[in-house]
């Protein structure tokens, strides 16, 4: 079993969904966890309370990762509270589905790229500067970056930047024994646009027939399983890699 006792983990966008599941998993393995949110303070506080009720330790930090001063404050507060940073998961992001490429406006572009590209890039950059040697960096991407979907051109394009940056950081941080990897989840029930009950039900009905293992759709816990692998000892010599979490489906 993975032992993260004494480690400090920062998970951006961890008020709910995939980020919440990863934060709770790391806490259950002994890590001190920073729960980050941009606007959803209620769910961030709930996540932290549930971590602490289960015997873990959590600290909540509001920070909008599209803002570089906010990113700096996120890590500065983590260092002040816990003294170090050992694990960082760049998970925060925005989703837009069903938008044809011809309909994308400059405002649409700026809104998504400010978080999914700029925010993820500078979160990873700042993390690389403060991470302890032997630390772990994980970027949460999307299968839309490797499988083309109509109506997801802007979203998938915005997620490509971090995926490429991960490969570069893996080379640049190798001498410090820091691993840098990407997880590409498919659509995940209870996360992103599929957290809405109506959208989740439609997703469950349509996606379960696409060749998934056990005929089911993915859950945030499936992604947390992959994150646990990357932060554990078994992945100590795995870096610059991309792990697709899609239940065996190829699209």
Residues annotated as part of the active site: 155
Among 64, 28, 30, residue whose Cα is nearest residue 44 = 64
Classify strands 136-140 and 87-90 as parallel, antiparallel or unpaired.
Answer: parallel
**12 touches 22 (CB < 8 A):** no
Handedness of CA 221, 226, 228, 229 (dihedral sign): positive
Handedness of CA 135, 184, 232, 217 (dihedral sign): positive
- Cα separations in angstroms, 180 against 20, 115, 128, 164: 20, 19, 9, 11
β-pair partners for 89: 11, 138
């Amino acid at each position: 079993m993975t032992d993260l006792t004494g480690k400090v983990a920062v998970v951006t966008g961890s008020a709910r969904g995939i980020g919440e599941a990863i934060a709770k998993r790391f806490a259950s393995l002994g890590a001190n966890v920073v729960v980050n949110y941009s606007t959803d303070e209620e769910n961030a506080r709930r996540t932290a309370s549930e971590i602490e009720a289960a015997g873990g330790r959590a600290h909540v930090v509001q920070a909008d990762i599209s803002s570089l001063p906010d990113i700096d404050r996120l890590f500065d507060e983590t260092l002040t509270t816990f003294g170090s940073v050992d694990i960082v998961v760049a998970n925060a992001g925005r989703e837009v589905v069903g938008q044809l490429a011809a309909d994308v406006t400059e405002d649409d572009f700026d809104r998504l790229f400010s978080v999914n590209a700029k925010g993820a890039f500078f979160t990873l950059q700042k993390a690389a500067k403060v991470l302890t040697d032997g630390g772990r960096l994980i970027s949460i991407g999307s299968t839309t970056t490797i499988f083309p979907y109509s109506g997801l051109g802007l979203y998938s394009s915005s997620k490509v930047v971090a995926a490429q940056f991960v490969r570069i950081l893996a080379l640049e941080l190798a001498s410090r024994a820091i691993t840098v990897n990407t997880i590409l989840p498919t659509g995940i029930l209870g996360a992103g646009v599929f957290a809405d009950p109506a959208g989740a039900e439609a997703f469950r009905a349509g996606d379960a027939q696409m060749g998934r293992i056990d005929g089911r759709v993915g859950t945030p816990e499936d992604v947390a399983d992959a994150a646990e692998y990357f932060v554990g000892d078994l992945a100590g010599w795995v870096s610059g890699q991309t792990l697709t979490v899609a239940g065996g489906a190829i699209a």
